[in-house]
Amino acid sequence: MNPRVLLVSNRLPVAATGDAAKPLRTTAGGLGTSLKGVHESGNSVWIGWPGNMELSPEAAENLNEALQEKGFVPVDLTPGDLKDYYDNISNGVLWPLFHYLIHQLPYNAKGWETYRNVNMKFAEATASQYQAGDLIWVHDYHLMLVPGMLREMLPDAQIGFFLHIPFPSSEIFRILPWREELLKGLMGADLIGFHTFTYSRHFSSSLVRILGADPEVDRVSHNGRTVHFGVFPIGIDVHRFVQQAHLPEVKEMSQRIRRQNPEEFLALGVDRLDYTKGIPRRLLAIERFLEKYPDFRGRFRFLQIAVPTRESSPAYNDFRSLVNELVGRINSTHGTMESLPVHLLYRTVDANELSALFLAADIMMVTPLRDGMNLVAKEFVASRVDGNGVLMISEFAGAAAELGESLLVNPYDIEDVADRIHEALRMTDADRRARMSLLAQRVSQMDAGTWARSFISHLASLTEGRQRVSFDTIETIRQSIKAVDSLLFLVDYDGTLTAIRDRPALAQPDAALRELVLRLSNLHRGRFWIVSGRHKHDLETWFPESNVGLVAEHGLWMRVEGNWTQVIEIDVSWKDKLRSIMASFAERTPGSQVEEKTASIAWHYRMADREFGRAQAKELRLHLLESFSNLPVHILNGKMCVEARIQGVHKGVATRRIAEMTKHESVLAAGDDQTDEDFLDLLPNSISIRIGRGHSKAQFRLHDPFELRALLESLASGEQNGE
């Protein structure tokens, strides 16, 4: 049986009507429609705000009953909550900023405390419904702190988060005063979903720049857990739109819209009246089109359906006046006695009317300045069961990444949009139909149900979120080693045999460690190896005795019987560019320094001012990740250093060679960071130990180097005592 899903969103897909007899009505909106299928499958609870209403006690009771019956759990929000959390922060700051419209930001945003408190209300309401085994799926920018809050309350829960709007470039995201808190809030999730690869990449850059994290393509370690992120482009209920388009009353309505003037071309816009949707520039492009191609005057009509939205906000009222003004101007300049070129309807339309409009249009103009996805574009395509019509779409809408056969436009380029309207009207029938047929295939491949199912099944498959770090005792590890006769020791140095020190030079081995290493090395030739990222000079100086096995520079060099050999050939032609970048960071960051090895260059900031060093490290990593992405170079986040290393060189390279050479039955491998993961599972029966926290494939975990040394001591003496 599928697990139960707790859906969490700002709004429920229903709203209170205030009518005791029929207390609920369905609300429109992309999010609601897309999740409807999951909820109607019967195994989910939906937590959200049902809208505020002055209700009589009887009506309130009926409302609660109706909500409960349908699996909805209301979160009550006060007018004060709504003003700060919804108007001021969510829609006043996060919405414009995530859509790159920073001129819409208030000078001094107020209400963050309330945003946090309301997120806590949602988290508490969710936790109160939670039963072990449930999946939790939180939605959108209103609730970005909820995953983190839930993680505190329910450490073992599987938590997903989906962002319906764009994730902006890290340059924009870092404008937010609460950037760190928001990212940490998201880090409570096990899986974070975005509409496009671009948003996922921007998110990853913000993790580097703001949290100093070390993300991989689709995951990042945070507080000992792995947080996954991925691309799940949302779809629509294709079946419903196709069915609607076939209804006789819809066909009739569509013909009526057209028959008003069969010679006329109809362009259509359907949006919430939101400043992100690009309506004023769309109107300017239409004005320009009519100026530039006067033949179309009297034969071209643009119909804009604008759904009222966020009417409590002054920004939206001013915006409405601007749109009205533009419509008036175009109509008075380009209208004729018989017709007006622009027709603006400021209202919602019902499902059938919407389908009829989609079917009637020659061109669908979807030209937002930014849009997470834009469902209208997909709804238009699904509705064109006649295979006709042209979709024009802004390259700044997430949907553009999927709908390549549409006419892609830059909505800021008024001249080009005007020309593209002309191009669309002159497109040959064959071209139009060929494009529409390909678009229809794409839209039906990923519908709303597929989208929701793929996110949920991905979330359910992540079991790491439930694993918590627990440490083992030395005795437990000893027990599992006893049975093994022939053991090869592969042990990292810094952080594993010695504690991490402020300066690398201070980490030289103390007398007891040297003595332990020598004892282990003398037990059996070729048995004990130190596998380090350090330069070979350091290791050679500390362990000159030729029977200590040494691997330096993360597996590039190994010392066998006192002789150093380079394990593989490498191409270092990229090092010059890297050296100059690192040097410029060293110059600008007092106390930091560059260290060069055969296959790598590292910039160390242990000795620099902590805060400044950390900030510079984030900048350097981001720069290197972006500039060297096409070169075979790994950019690594070391402890107080940023290192760039040639790909193909890792500790697994040398350790594999050693295992072949020495032919031991089993391996005891120990390490404390990511670079050690490459040799922890060298042989199928390896005994692997991770020192400290952090994600690892090791079987065992010890707290610190002292525990590991105690274990090695006991093994060395056990061996000597003939155990």
Shortest Cβ 229–ligand ADQ spacing (Å): 16
Nearer to ligand ADQ, 458 or 577 (CB): 458
Shortest Cβ 329–ligand ADQ spacing (Å): 23
Phi, psi of 688 (to 5 degrees): -115, 140
What single-letter DSSP state applies at residue 371? B
Shortest Cβ 54–ligand ADQ spacing (Å): 26
One-letter amino acid for residue 176 of the chain: L
Task: Give which of 360, 280, 367, 294 is closest to 328, Cα–Cα.
Answer: 280
Nearer to ligand ADQ, 99 or 650 (CB): 99
From the centroid of its chain, how far is CA 702? Answer: 32
Task: Give which of 386, 355, 348 is closest to 257, Cα–Cα.
Answer: 355
For 158, the token pair is 């599987």
Phi, psi of 265 (to 5 degrees): -95, 140
From the centroid of its chain, how far is CA 575? Answer: 32
Alpha-carbon separation of residue 86 from 47, 72, 204, 640 (angstroms): 16, 20, 26, 40
Nearer to ligand ADQ, 433 or 458 (CB): 458
Shortest Cβ 271–ligand ADQ spacing (Å): 6
Q: How many other C-beta atoms lie within 10 A of the C-beta of residue 269? A: 25
Nearer to ligand ADQ, 382 or 477 (CB): 382
Shortest Cβ 344–ligand ADQ spacing (Å): 11
Q: Long-range contact list for 414-417, CB < 8 A, 24+ apart?
A: 414/281, 414/284, 414/285, 414/288, 415/288, 417/281, 417/282, 417/285, 417/288, 417/289, 417/367, 417/392
Nearer to ligand ADQ, 17 or 309 (CB): 309
Shortest Cβ 272–ligand ADQ spacing (Å): 5
Shortest Cβ 381–ligand ADQ spacing (Å): 12
Q: Where are the beta strands (DSSP E) in 649-710?
A: 666-671, 687-691, 700-702
In 187-313, where does DSSP find H-type helix?
Answer: 197-206, 238-246, 248-259, 279-292
Shortest Cβ 309–ligand ADQ spacing (Å): 8
Nearer to ligand ADQ, 30 or 652 (CB): 30
In 375-447, where does DSSP find H-type helix?
Answer: 375-383, 414-426, 429-445
Nearer to ligand ADQ, 348 or 522 (CB): 348
Nearer to ligand ADQ, 274 or 643 (CB): 274
Shortest Cβ 347–ligand ADQ spacing (Å): 7
Nearer to ligand ADQ, 235 or 692 (CB): 235
Tell me the C-alpha distance between 144 and 115, whole Å. 10
Q: How many other C-beta atoms lie within 10 A of the C-beta of residue 687? A: 20
Q: Which residues pair with 390 in a beta bridge?
A: 363
Q: Which helix (H) or strand (E) holds 329?
A: helix 314-334
Q: Interface residues with ligand ADQ (CB under 6 A)?
A: 28-31, 33, 164-165, 234, 270-272, 305, 307, 348-349, 354, 371-376, 379
Straight-line distance from the first to the last Cα atom of the chain, in angstroms, rounded to the nearest whole number: 52
Taken in order 522, 524, 525, 528, the sign of the CA dihedral is: negative
Q: Which residues pair with 594 in a beta bridge?
A: 603
Nearer to ligand ADQ, 147 or 235 (CB): 235
Alpha-carbon separation of residue 194 from 165, 403, 453 (angstroms): 8, 17, 15
Shortest Cβ 205–ligand ADQ spacing (Å): 21
Q: Does the annotation mark 492 as catalytic?
A: yes
Three-state helix/strand/coil letters over 138-192: EECHHHCCHHHHHHHHCCCCEEEEECCCCCCCHHHHCCCCCHHHHHHHHCCCCEE
Is residue 364 within 8 A of residue 303, CB to CB? The reply is no
Phi-psi region of 326 (alpha: psi -120 to 50; beta: other; left: phi over 0): alpha
For 492, the token pair is 């990292």
Catalytic residue among 492, 494, 538, 673: 492
Report the catalytic residues: 492
